[in-house]
Every structure is written in C-alpha cells, then in structure tokens.
A = this chain, B = another copy of it.
Amino acid sequence: MKRRNTPSKQAVLSVITKAGKAMSQDAIEEEIAIDINRATIYRVLNRFCDDGVLHKVMAEDGKQYFALCETYDTKAATHQHFHFKCTKCDTVECLPNQVNFSIPDGYLVESVNCVLTGVCKNCS
C-alpha cells in the first residue's frame, strides 16, 4: 500500500510542524487553512503514526494528541519522553526529559504514555 501525496496530508503536517506541539484533531481542524473532513484528519494522523512520522499521546482529558517524531527517535526506543499538557491553553508539548523506569521481570513494555498536567511556562 504505497502512500500518496495529498493536500490533506501536507496541510495537517504543516499545521503540526508550525505549532511545534502535539495537537488534537479539533485543534488541527481549527488551525488548518483548507477544509478537511474530520474523519480524514483522523485517518491522516493515524497513517502518519503508522509511518513513524507522528506519535500519539493520550492525555488525561481522554483525547489523543499528535506530535512530530524527532528524527533521532528510533522505532525501538519509541518516544520515551514526558509530555506536558497545559490546562490553561490546552496544548500538549513534548518535554526533553526522557522517561526512566525499570519494570519487574516478566513484563514486556510496548509503549510508554507519560503526561504531566498543569500550567505551562507561557500561561503561568
């Protein structure tokens, strides 16, 4: 299944890149220049995740936020960094901090979802 280059994909990626933060579908729809259907935005986002372009963060508000994968992120060490969700401006940003943990034997960790919630630098 070869991927195609479409205006929707370009627009979504452009918005997220410009924001420099993790964004939810509705935030993207608000910011985006062209008119794209909600379902399409979700499909574009999920495809980008599959392709390792974006990563998904589940915040405490139960919403998915999507952020650019840094180039140094490998498939193996997947995005084990903290995220910060601001309750004031409602944005999610990737923090430089890596998540360190050691789990008991027998556990197999497939993904890490760490979100700190509070008030960000800009809003405090």
A112 to B95, CA, bound (A): 14
Question: Any chain B CB within 8 A of the CB of A114?
Answer: yes
| Chain B residues whose C-beta falls within 8 Å of the C-beta of A116 in the assembled complex | 101, 103, 107, 109, 111-113
Q: Mark each residue of chain A from 5 to 29: 1 if its CB lies under 8 Å from any CB of chain B, else 0.
A: 0000000000000000000000000
Q: How many copies of the shown chain assemble into the complex?
A: 2
| Chain B residues whose C-beta falls within 8 Å of the C-beta of A64 in the assembled complex | 62
The bracket for how many chain A residues form the interface is 35 or more
Most-contacted residue by chain B among A84, A97, A113, A120 (CB, 10 A): A113
- Interface of A toward B, CB cutoff 8 Å: 58-62, 64, 82, 84, 87, 95, 97, 99-121, 124
